[in-house]
Amino acid sequence: MILSGKEILKNIESKDIIIEPFDKSRVNPNSYNLTLSDELLVYENDLLDMKIPNETRLIKIPEEGLVLEPNKLYLGRTNEFTKTEKFVPMLEGRSSTGRLGLFIHVTAGFGDIGFAGYWTLEIFCVQPIKIYPNTQICQIYYHDIHGEYDLYKSGKYQNNTGIQPSLMYKDFE
């Protein structure tokens, strides 16, 4: 089941869910709004290779905004660090974001129980759109889990501090 906003609050108070920084005004009926940092990564090459580290370039999002181009992948991240060892975290775009044709995750909205870090956003737009730093761009929600489980401990993305490009090449090593 999905946790209600009131359950999210209870679990933040008990430290079973960590969202830092936390702002109570961003709690929704069954989710919490996360914000966009002021940086993006873009891949340098048009052809990406799964077996190698692909070069990226950092872009700052100025306060006056940045126009994103359609058919280009931008990697962003949340300002918020999240962690839980009790629930399965999930990430979705906000309906207001989607109605502007802005996708905040191409495929990776599913988190693993035990994940601790900032969420890397796979940002893609249908038409040109101007974005701003610190915008409430997506929402995190939580599922409970039944049965025995292991916590996520992968070294690839755990406890990250910045935007994470694909580390899929490590799967080939």
Q: Band of the pLDDT at 49, cuts 50, 70, 90? A: very high
User: So what's the pLDDT on residue 67?
Assistant: 98
User: So what's the pLDDT on residue 55?
Assistant: 97
Residue 32: name the closest of 21, 24, 44 by CA. 24
Residue 34, pLDDT above cutoff 90: yes
User: So what's the pLDDT on residue 80?
Assistant: 98
Which amino acids are annotated catalytic? Answer: 122
Are 60 and 39 in contact, with CB atoms under 8 Å apart?
yes
Annotate 6-25 with DSSP letters as a single string. HHHHHHHHTTSEEEES--GG
Q: What stretch of H or E contains 120?
A: strand 116-125
The percentage of the chain sitting over the pLDDT mark of 90, rounded to a whole number, equals: 82
Size of the chain in residues: 173
Reported as a single tens digit per residue, the pLDDT across 99-109 is: 999 999 887 77
CA distances (Å), 84 to each of 28, 73, 105, in order? 18, 28, 20
Alpha carbons within 13 angstroms on the beta-carbon side of residue 103 total 16
The percentage of the chain sitting over the pLDDT mark of 70, rounded to a whole number, equals: 99
Phi (first) and psi of residue 5, to 5 degrees: -60, -40
User: So what's the pLDDT on residue 111?
Assistant: 84
User: So what's the pLDDT on residue 81?
Assistant: 96
Report pTM.
0.93
pLDDT (average), residues 79-104: 95
pLDDT (average), residues 77-92: 96
Residue 74: name the closest of 119, 37, 38, 122 by CA. 122
Residue 33: name the closest of 86, 87, 82, 68 by CA. 82
User: So what's the pLDDT on residue 157?
Assistant: 84
User: So what's the pLDDT on residue 162?
Assistant: 86
User: So what's the pLDDT on residue 159?
Assistant: 80
Reported as a single tens digit per residue, the pLDDT across 142-167 is: 999 999 988 887 767 888 888 989 99
- Tell me which residue has tokens 């755990």: 158
pLDDT (average), residues 121-129: 96
